[in-house]
């Protein structure tokens, strides 16, 4: 074999080896793909997704499925370049910068904890929205989520404290608590009446001053709800707030006679607040693909996501535009009645 042939063989082998090594190099991207679906009026691993006790429930058929996005990659398990390239050419996968999912300001554990908390909050809001839609009274209260380090409230107010009054004035909203604090100047005492572990107590805190000069004590609050009966939601390892609307529909369906879907396989997505307003979510393209793969023919789409959804809707999936829980219920009522006049995402 000539020297030239040997040189070409060696060069080719080295080029191939370098290409293989480059393809296996980790890159700071995350691949988002269609995730599993769960029927909110069905079971998962033999257990109802939504369990209600203390109130009459009714059988439901069809499907009201929440949809998810699976991800591959992340700071502790980065994608290799070859996997990222495959994702870039696959229309059902979105390859996004790692920081879009895992901000540099947060650890992986913090991101996971936030997703878990958002799921918990969405379940509370979903239950409140469904009961409000049914005109079932619920009680709201204000509780302490956490206190900021180095602020006057640290060590005085505790997570779980229910704030009932500020300076003797009853409060039932977050704004009312904030207004009570803002009546004071920095350095003045603010007295909170709280329920702590079921017992009433008073906590007096000398107010501080925020960077923008406002009076503050350094407490983060949240609205909590007391429902007249028990609603449990179990979906396993799913995080984030985007299943809120579908939880609400599942609860509503179980608490009302008849079938909300009329036996149709319906999927959807969207955040929800206690008043029933539906908000946008991320990963709409992947969620639609997951819904269609699971057999859904109707997809309840947040109005703010319509523009992106119409560009990537899979064949056989009908988009129905919703902005409130009431919109979704009315659309399903119309669908069950055989109406073809449903609010649709407008074509771009």
Each as own residue / partner, the long-range contacts of residues 80-86 (CB below 8 Å, 24 or more positions apart, any chain) are 80/23, 80/24, 80/25, 80/26, 80/27, 81/22, 81/23, 81/24, 81/25, 81/27, 82/23, 82/24, 83/31, 84/27, 84/29, 84/31, 85/23
Cα dihedral: 318, 323, 327, 328 (round 10): 50
Q: Count CB atoms within 10 A of the CB of residue 32.
A: 23
Query: So which residues are the catalytic ones?
Result: 242, 287
Rg (CA), the chain: 26
Question: Is the dihedral angle over the CA atoms 232, 235, 239, 241 positive or is it negative?
Answer: negative
Q: Please tell me the distance from the alpha carbon of residue 251 to that of residue 260, in angstroms, as a whole number.
A: 11
Q: Report the C-alpha gap between 42 and 77 in whole angstroms.
A: 34
Using CA atoms, how far apart are residues 146 and 319, in angstroms rounded to an integer?
Answer: 40
Whole-angstrom distance, CA of residue 48 vs CA of residue 313: 30
Distance of CA 320 to the CA centre of its chain: 20
Torsion of CA 295, 300, 305, 311, to 10 degrees: 40
Number of alpha carbons in the 13 Å side-chain half-sphere of residue 205: 24
d(CA 137, CA 275): 13
């Amino acid at each position: 074999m000539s020297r030239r042939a040997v040189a070409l063989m060696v060069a080719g082998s080295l080029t191939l080896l370098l290409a293989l090594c480059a393809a296996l190099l980790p890159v700071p991207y995350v691949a988002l793909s269609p995730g599993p679906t769960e029927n909110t009026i069905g079971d998962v691993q033999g257990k109802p997704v939504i369990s209600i006790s203390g109130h009459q429930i009714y059988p439901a058929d069809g499907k009201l499925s929440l949809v998810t996005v699976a991800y591959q990659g992340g700071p502790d398990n980065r994608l290799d370049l070859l996997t990222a390239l495959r994702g870039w050419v696959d229309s059902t996968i979105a390859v996004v910068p790692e920081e879009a999912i895992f901000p540099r300001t947060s650890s992986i554990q913090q991101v996971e904890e936030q997703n878990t908390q958002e799921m918990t909050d969405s379940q509370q809001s979903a239950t409140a929205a469904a009961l409000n839609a049914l005109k079932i009274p619920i009680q709201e209260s204000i509780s302490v989520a956490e206190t900021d380090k180095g602020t006057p409230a640290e060590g005085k107010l505790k997570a779980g404290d229910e704030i009932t009054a500020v300076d003797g004035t009853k409060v039932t909203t977050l704004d009312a608590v904030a207004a009570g604090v803002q009546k004071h100047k920095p350095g003045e005492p603010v007295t909170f009446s709280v329920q702590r572990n079921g017992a009433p107590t008073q906590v007096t805190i000398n107010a501080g001053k925020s960077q923008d000069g406002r009076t503050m004590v350094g407490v983060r609050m949240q609205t909590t709800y007391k429902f007249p009966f028990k609603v449990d939601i179990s979906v396993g390892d799913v995080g984030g707030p985007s299943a809120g609307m579908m939880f609400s529909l599942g609860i509503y369906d179980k608490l009302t006679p008849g079938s909300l879907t009329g036996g149709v396989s319906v999927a959807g997505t969207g955040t929800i607040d206690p008043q029933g307003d539906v908000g946008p979510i991320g990963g709409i393209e992947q969620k639609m693909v997951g819904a269609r793969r699971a057999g859904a023919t109707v997809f309840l789409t947040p109005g703010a996501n319509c523009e992106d959804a119409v560009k990537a809707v899979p064949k056989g999936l009908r988009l129905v535009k919703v902005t409130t829980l009431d919109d979704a219920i009315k659309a399903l009522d119309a669908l069950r009645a055989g109406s073809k006049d449903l609010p649709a995402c407008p074509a771009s």
